Amino acid sequence: MRSVHPFNRGWLFAPRDLALSAPDSAFSRVSLPHTNIELPHHSFDNAEYQFISTYRQRFSLPEPLNGRRLFIDFEGAMTAYTVTINGHDLGEYRGGYTPSSFELTQHVFDNGDENLLQVRLDSTERPDIPPNGGIVDYLTFGGIYREVSLRYVEPLHVTDAFARGIDLLTYKPRVGLDVTVTNRTAFDENAVLYATVAGATGLVADGSHQVHIPAGATRTFTLDMPLENATLWSRETPALYTVNICLDYVSGGGDPHDVYTFQTGFREAKFTPEGFFLNGEKIKLVGLNRHQSYPYVGYAAPKRMQRKDADILKDELGVNIVRTSHYPQSRHFLDRCDEIGLLVFEEIPGWQYIGEEDWKDLSVGYVESMVVRDRNHPSIILWGVRINESQDDEYFYRATNAKAHELDPTRQTGGVRNFQESQFLEDVFTYNDFSNTVIPPNNTPYLVTEYNGHMYPTKSYDSEAQQVEHALRHVRVQEASFATEATSGAIGWCAFDYNTHRHFGAGDRICYHGVMDIFRLPKFAAYVYETMPDASVRPVVRAATVWTFGENEAAGVEPLYIFTNCEQVEVYKGDWKWGTFSPDRESYPHLPHPPVKVIGFSLMSMVGESYEDLRVVGLVNGQPVVEQSLSSKGVMHALTLQADDEALEADGADMTRMVFRIVDEYGNRLPYCTSVVSFEISGPGVLVGENPFPLVGGHAAIYLRATETAGEVTVTARTRGLAPASVTVRVGQA
Ligand code: GAL
């Protein structure tokens, strides 16, 4: 039988190239996901993570082989690595974003003796490995930054399976289950495949199939099964099903050869010249690009933080699609997108540069790894098979398209380009539109995959006018997208600020292109997306102001923009009601919830006695449903500290974000507050981040990492003149 063991704890790590003979004392103990170096959140050089490091495991097998094969599976390590087991070199894997497997069977001690596994990890920006070779506007942080596991399989086993929905919108929906079986025995084998597909309401499909696999061969078999009473996966109802495949002896009895299980969902996703359709329903796609990098730990964010990013995109930002710019991302992120109904456009690693033949071969291989790894995710609706914004290369891109279509006939391909006249070999014309026209070519499925970004970088502590204009630029493109029926939608650049190379970004090597900052905390532009869903999902009012008359040109707040999904807003200064205002449908007739534009908060209306706190009340059906207040005082009221999670696992890698703010009486950050905040920790945990932290923008975050010890961790933040703030997080046995 198959068995899989997580292999993330008890690694020895050294930030240098060490021989097998190096003593364990040259290493320190770490858990995965792991970054090869912790960095400040900005103003560091990419050379700092570019080095060779060594990871080592001493282990006896968690269970005996019993005739099975044993593999070590890496989900992602940057950039290339060589694995040695008990002195045997198993070769090198090149690629930081796709999984790899090495077979250990022949070289492990199966008698309880200790095995020595060593990984030589090269985290340099190797020009022979995509995305590198040219200049790239993002950083490829080093480390074994995703999980690793040990996998036992019988010589006759399932290597992969793909569940395809067929005729889903007809009265006879089916599932085509492609099961790939490998026979590494010395004999031809006959076996039976049994499959079930079951969800919350029970069984929706099942079937069986007699198979014959010659010795040494790998074969794919298809079970074509009627799908009965299945709920289609959608944004509102992200119904998931468990597919269970049993590879059994013909005679039955005893343990089967293999049991292979995965999750999927059934939906029909189609880009057409008339727009995008999910299960036959037209949806305007509203999205943002996501880089998988985080402050301090680069790429090494654990499962919890990967999932949190999907939640932030869906719940805090309110988008319905994310593009995994510019590479395949964590399975935890994608799993969460499946669970919450967030659509995904996933693409291969790259950025403008195309290398030589060997480089292109790797890229075609990445198409294969990406599609095979992720084709059962219902959230993924499009494969990106072009190097982002690269030149045409017909032969190469015919190969990437063919590979994606061969491995997944159900999904369309896109290839993100930045020039209209580029050769169109894909199914969907995916275009980075920095001129904001949003006009599709004739009769072609069309999706805008980037806008804004470098055209208007904005920091969360930039002036009010800059932040308002940043937000309005997002509003204008979304308005154009909603106005253009034939456009499937628009995915903005980008969700979160990110660290980058010196050729890009601001003076501290951050690209301030996010609608949220690098800590995933909102700028005004975030409100544009936050107000996309209906007020029935969650009512929102956000005045895009710091509410002070000395902030803007010629004083006053003129006009005042209020982002809301309510029908109307009431605006008060102190107790005095300024008026009731409606969304600006004249300027933005197509947006679901245009911002409210209030004219008249000029200098004269704000100075003197009438300069009081601002209060905005959102109305639905004439009733108040939500409100926001902003202080007129501009003084520090409190220091706050909040953890995203109440509990962590004691696995040495689990982490949660801790957001700290200096706020007014209503809990709004003071955007120009530059106080220094320092942190103390007690209990079994480690603080990850700058400590003390000289605040900019009135808010930021550090992270709390669990150790391998359970207990309670208390973190206390302090700053001069305000009461300290504390948070306690429970760390439970993993
Ligand atoms: C695009 C590119 C993105 C990012 C963006 C900045 O051209 O595809 O990766 O660099 O510009 O606006």
111: left (phi over 0), alpha (psi -120 to 50) or beta: alpha
pLDDT along the chain (734 residues), means of 10: 96 98 98 98 96 98 97 98 98 98 97 96 98 97 98 98 98 98 96 97 96 97 97 98 96 90 98 98 98 98 98 98 98 98 98 98 98 98 98 98 98 96 96 89 95 96 96 98 97 98 94 98 98 97 92 85 98 90 98 94 59 94 97 94 98 98 96 95 98 93 98 98 98 91
Q: How much of the chain, in percent, has pLDDT values that exceed 90?
A: 92
Residue nearest to atom 3 of ligand 1 (CA): 137
Residue to mutate, 137, 422, 491, ligand 1, most ligand atoms under 8 Å from C-beta: 137
Which atom of ligand 1 is found nearest the CA of 500? 10
What's residue 381's pLDDT? 98
What's residue 616's pLDDT? 97
Listed residue (227, 412, 235, 246) closest to 338, CA to CA:
235
Please tell me if the CB atom of residue 493 comes closer than 6 angstroms to any atom of ligand 1. Answer: yes
Diameter of the chain measured on Cα atoms? 92
Q: How far is the CA of 138 from the centre of ligand 1 (A)?
A: 9
Return phi, psi of residue 205, to 5°: -160, 150
- HSE (side-chain half, CA atoms, 13 Å) at 57: 22
Please tell me if the CB atom of residue 505 comes closer than 6 angstroms to any atom of ligand 1. Answer: no
Q: How far is the CA of 296 from the centre of ligand 1 (A)?
A: 22
Please tell me if the CB atom of residue 453 comes closer than 6 angstroms to any atom of ligand 1. Answer: yes
Alpha carbon of residue 534 to chain centroid: 24
What's residue 204's pLDDT? 98
Q: How far is the CA of 652 from the centre of ligand 1 (A)?
A: 35
Contacts of 351 (CB under 8 A, 6+ apart): 131, 134, 135, 136, 137, 138, 326, 387, 388, 389
Residue nearest to atom 4 of ligand 1 (CA): 137
What's residue 574's pLDDT? 87
Interatomic CA distance for residues 98 and 348, integer angstroms: 9
Residue to mutate, 493, 503, 504, ligand 1, most ligand atoms under 8 Å from C-beta: 493
Q: How far is the CA of 494 from the centre of ligand 1 (A)?
A: 9
Spatial contact of 149 and 112, defined as CB atoms under 8 Å apart: no
Which atom of ligand 1 is found nearest the CA of 389? 8
Other beta carbons within 10 Å of 609:
6
What's residue 87's pLDDT? 97
Interatomic CA distance for residues 610 and 547, integer angstroms: 13
At 515-543, the pLDDT tens digits run 999 999 999 999 999 999 999 999 999 99
Q: Which two tokens mark 262?
A: 């995965």
Please tell me if the CB atom of residue 450 comes closer than 6 angstroms to any atom of ligand 1. Answer: yes
Which atom of ligand 1 is found nearest the CA of 388? 8
Which atom of ligand 1 is found nearest the CA of 511? 6
Domains of the chain (ranges; CATH) run 3-153 (2.60.120.260), 156-256 (2.60.40.10), 270-530 (3.20.20.80), 541-630 (2.60.40.10), 638-732 (2.60.40.10)
DSSP 404-433: HHHH-TTSEEE--BS-TTS---SSBEEEE-
Q: How far is the CA of 367 from the centre of ligand 1 (A)?
A: 21
What's residue 608's pLDDT? 60
Which atom of ligand 1 is found nearest the CA of 452? 12
What's residue 696's pLDDT? 83
Using the Cα atoms of residue 91, residue 652, residue 40 and residue 309 in order, give the sign of their dihedral.
Answer: positive
Catalytic, out of 346, 389, 464, 530:
389
DSSP 567-620: SEEEEEETTEEEEEE-B-TTT-SSSSSPPEEE----HHHHSGGG---EEEEEEE
Active site residue 389: yes
Catalytic, out of 450, 464, 479, 530:
450
What's residue 724's pLDDT? 98
